[in-house]
Amino acid sequence: MAFLTKSLPRRTVLRGFGATMALPFLEAMLPAFSWRGLAVAKPVQRFLTFYVPNGMAMEYWLPKGEGKDFELSPILEPLAPYRDQMLVLSGIKSSWNYIHAGASGSFLTGTVRGGRTETEIIADVSIDQLLARHFSRETQIASLELAMDAPANAGACTGILSCAYTHTLSWRSPTQPLPMEYNPRAVFERLFGDSGSTERGAREARMRQHKSILDSVTEKLSYLKRELGPQDQSKVNQYTEAVRDVERRIQRAEEQRDVELPTMEQPQGVPPVFEDHLALMLDLQFLAFQSDLTRVISFMIGKEQSARPYPQIGVPEAHHPLSHHNNVPELIARMSKINRYHTELFSKYLAKLHATPDGDGSLLDHMTILYGSGISNSNAHSGDNLPILLVGGGTGRLKGGRYLKYSDKPSMANLLVTLMDKMDVPVERIGGSTGKLPLETLSGV
């Protein structure tokens, strides 16, 4: 049969009117004439940043013990199923510690300073953009910059500094911060529509059309499936149904609100329920990674100074004011509920990555995920001892199941240099780095 005698290119894309459809990894993408199960395609590396705002209730974050013998803390307990693919790091110092601006502004840039006024915007190139330049030769989309809050890259948000520092992690150049997209429809059309336009007329035309993006490639998809083996056909069916499901959920969310995009005064409005919005944004990331449309995503579950309340978990107070808890134990405990809720949501995402085959492993096996915040003790805006996790197999480059304590207060910028090394895109310097952060050579771990 045809699927036994030809090899399908890894970047196979089906094109239809106004739409593109990339495919997940299929057995047919293995070298032609190879024995199924013996030949394994070289796994691709993927990088995700999952940023949480407003610091951490550190008393509930830091594990007990060290090395392989550590006990997960209350905040980290939801990640127990992925302990063997998790590195907990402590003792790392922020590269630039200026309240909330330095937290997110230096998280991926390692910059040692930012601007000094509302209009002076300066940092450094972020590692997601360095990776995007490298992988753009192999993917349709160099990178995705996503967030749960509407962007505001102008005006002052923290101290007297530009909102650019608190509303993005990604910097294309030292003076060019990238906006983070928070509208699921815009992300969906960027992934699966040719133009990726978010212009109002294009959105209205799409809604009037009431036509699935997949419909325009159905004929080509049907022809392709005739060329595939039974397992590949099942994978394609599951993948296309997942795309349809995301599109249906976006359309449903749009039907529940006005056609106009939410205004800056309503940053939480797409869709109105936080968990629904987050599920869409994470599913879009999952589809982008699964189909190899991109290998680099930066995601903020909340911007610095986020005032989102969490009444659904018994925390009705706004997040940012609660983070200034004045070291009151009761308030710190309430803050920890938000921190734990974030790891619970993150764990569900990891479960999906872990369950998805990719080459000789899973998507999670072939990912490097940086999870954390640019502030530790939120009450003091502390940049010392940042809460940092590395999760995933890193295509064999990350050795998990350990808690590493650094006593010499290494810079976050040094960790960024090491991550670039792990992604096989070595660089001499990131921001104010002074070398690499050792992840394998600490004594006894």
Cβ 339 vs Cβ 56: under 8 Å: yes
The dihedral built from the CA positions of residue 127, 323, 179 and 283, taken in this order, carries a sign that is: positive
Phi, psi of 406 (to 5 degrees): -110, 125
- Tell me the pLDDT tens digit for each residue of 35-53: 444 445 678 999 999 999 9
Residues 150, 182: Cα–Cα separation, whole Å: 6
AA identity, residue 76: L
The winner for highest mean pLDDT among 109-118, 190-199, 255-264 is 109-118
Residues 234, 68: Cα–Cα separation, whole Å: 39
The tokens of 287 are what? 């589809």
Q: Which residues contact 110 (CB under 8 A, 6 or more apart)?
A: 95, 124, 127, 411, 412, 413, 416, 417, 430, 431, 432, 433
Where residue 264 falls among pLDDT bands split at 50, 70, 90?
Answer: very low
Which letter does DSSP use for residue 411 in this model? B
Tell me the percentage of the chain whose pLDDT exceeds 70. 75
Question: Which pLDDT belongs to residue 32?
Answer: 47
Question: Which pLDDT belongs to residue 227?
Answer: 72
Considering only residues 415 and 157, tell me which one the structure prediction assigns the higher pLDDT.
Answer: 415
Residues 83, 400: Cα–Cα separation, whole Å: 7
Burial class (CB in 10 A: 0-12, 13-18, 19+), 245: exposed
- Tell me the pLDDT tens digit for each residue of 114-159: 988 888 999 999 999 999 999 988 888 899 999 999 887 667 788 8
The tokens of 319 are what? 């997040």
Q: State yes or no: pLDDT of 267 exceeds 70.
A: no
288-299 average pLDDT score:
93
Residues 83, 103: Cα–Cα separation, whole Å: 26
Considering only residues 208 and 391, tell me which one the structure prediction assigns the higher pLDDT.
Answer: 391
Lowest mean pLDDT among 204-218, 276-290, 319-333, 372-386: 204-218
Question: Which pLDDT belongs to residue 159?
Answer: 83
- Tell me the pLDDT tens digit for each residue of 162-183: 999 999 999 999 999 999 999 9
The tokens of 153 are what? 């890259």
Residues 433, 82: Cα–Cα separation, whole Å: 30
Lowest mean pLDDT among 19-23, 28-32, 154-158, 231-235: 28-32
Question: Which pLDDT belongs to residue 228?
Answer: 75
Cβ 274 vs Cβ 148: under 8 Å: yes
Q: Which residues pair with 411 in a beta bridge?
A: 93
343-365 average pLDDT score:
96
327-346 average pLDDT score:
97
370-377 average pLDDT score:
97
Lowest mean pLDDT among 166-180, 212-226, 342-356, 409-423: 212-226
C-alpha distances in Å from residue 390, one per residue of 223, 271, 385, 430: 41, 30, 15, 18
Residues 178, 222: Cα–Cα separation, whole Å: 39
Q: State yes or no: pLDDT of 429 exceeds 90.
A: yes
Residues 431, 98: Cα–Cα separation, whole Å: 16
Return the number of other C-beta atoms located less than 10 Å from residue 311's C-beta: 8
- Tell me the pLDDT tens digit for each residue of 220-240: 667 676 777 777 777 677 777
326-336 average pLDDT score:
97
Residues 277, 264: Cα–Cα separation, whole Å: 17
pTM of the model: 0.81
Q: Supply the mean pLDDT for the chain.
A: 84
Tell me the percentage of the chain whose pLDDT exceeds 90. 62
Q: Which residues pair with 231 in a beta bridge?
A: none
89-93 average pLDDT score:
97
Residues 339, 61: Cα–Cα separation, whole Å: 8
Q: Going from the N-terminus, what domains does the chain have, and what CATH number goes with each?
A: 1-42+188-260 (no CATH), 45-183+276-284+295-445 (3.40.720)
189-210 average pLDDT score:
54
Where residue 210 falls among pLDDT bands split at 50, 70, 90?
Answer: very low
Cβ 177 vs Cβ 147: under 8 Å: no
Cβ 402 vs Cβ 383: under 8 Å: no
Considering only residues 193 and 203, tell me which one the structure prediction assigns the higher pLDDT.
Answer: 193
Residues 74, 437: Cα–Cα separation, whole Å: 27
